[in-house]
Structure 1
Amino acid sequence: MRRPWMGRGAFVALAAVGLTACSPKLPEGIDESVLTQAVGRSIGSPSTCVVIADAKGKLVWRGGGYITCSRNLPDCEGAQTTAEDLVKANLGKPARFLSCPSSAANTVGWAIGPVPTGEGKPDRHLTYVAVMEGERALPGLEIKDRVERAFKKAGF
């Protein structure tokens, strides 16, 4: 049986609402556009990825190049990993900052740790991973300093 256009439109609208309801969300009081701009200004490039996950490992925000976010990169401890896998493996753990060669000419820098909580703000139990890879990738500690300043600007 063929449905009229209005029926299809209603289905599409409901599907879109359903997808939106399931999409990750930043905590209340965090301005996503400010976060995106601040991260972009501080460490943004096509070789940058920043992911934030909640205490259960659900991604609440992703910023940066798709290729860098989804591809395997050296974890600087002898294995390969993605930013999303690394954030899930480090939920609630202390911060770490790593840098190592990723090829003959490129390096990779990782900053991993709890999203800092600003003074007077509630602890949201979020974990982040920020990574840069390329000829001019920043070291992990520099990535940490820059991305955490961006978090502060966004309201964390």
Structure 2
Amino acid sequence: MPRRLALIAVAAVGLSACSAKLPADVDEAALTQAIGRSVGSPSTCVIVADAEGRTVWRGGGYITCSRNLPSCDGAQTNAETVLKAGLGKPARFTSCPTTGANTVGWAVGPVPSGEGKPPRNLTYVAVMEGERALPGLEIKERLERAFRKAGF
């Protein structure tokens, strides 16, 4: 039994070594605070992924990020799907009504690199839904400022 536990521990360490991570010079706590202050709400999801689509950072719970919402082009989608479709592409943003007085705002695009910083090849998606949801363009602008504050 101890040998089995040792093998499981080695496998877990090996898998975590391969998992995608934020760049070393980006402060995760500062990122969490900056995004929370700029677009934070219980109805907001922000995901940052590497060029292969592996999540390196997530703001918002699993349920918030996996909800199906209007894509604003007649379909329903979720944050993961929008993120994968936006990998390596120019920024896009959109907004539309959902139900009642609610709206949804989407923003997806490359995480900007600050002056003097190397390109990171990271992509983000953000979605916000509710009565006070920000429009997609406003989400994009606020997130890009938050990324710079965190050290990107």
Aligned pairs for 1:4-153 (under 5 A) are 6-7=2-3, 10-11=6-7, 13-153=9-149
With normalisation by structure 1, the TM-score equals: 0.88
Whole-angstrom CA distance in 2 between matches of 1:29 and 1:118: 12
Count of aligned residue pairs for this structure pair: 152
SS at 2:30 equivalent:
helix
Q: Is the deviation greater in 50-59 or in 14-23?
A: 14-23
Q: Residue 96 of structure 2 contacts residue 104 of structure 2 at CA under 8 Å; is this kept in 1?
A: yes
SS at 2:132 equivalent:
coil
Q: CA deviation at 1:19?
A: 4.1
Q: CA deviation at 1:133?
A: 0.7
User: Rg larger in 1 or in 2?
Assistant: 1
Whole-angstrom CA distance in 2 between matches of 1:105 and 1:18: 48
Whole-angstrom CA distance in 2 between matches of 1:42 and 1:15: 38
Percent identity of equivalent pairs = 74
Q: Residue 45 of structure 1 contacts residue 65 of structure 1 at CA under 8 Å; is this kept in 2?
A: no
Whole-angstrom CA distance in 2 between matches of 1:142 and 1:49: 15
Whole-angstrom CA distance in 2 between matches of 1:134 and 1:86: 19
Q: Residue 20 of structure 2 contacts residue 50 of structure 2 at CA under 8 Å; is this kept in 1?
A: no
Q: What is the root-mean-square deviation in Å for CA atoms of aligned residues?
A: 1.7
SS at 1:108 equivalent:
strand
Whole-angstrom CA distance in 1 between matches of 2:29 and 2:103: 29
Q: Residue 21 of structure 2 contacts residue 56 of structure 2 at CA under 8 Å; is this kept in 1?
A: yes
Q: Residue 43 of structure 1 contacts residue 143 of structure 1 at CA under 8 Å; is this kept in 2?
A: yes
Whole-angstrom CA distance in 1 between matches of 2:102 and 2:84: 25
Q: Unmatched 5+ residue regions in structure 1?
A: none
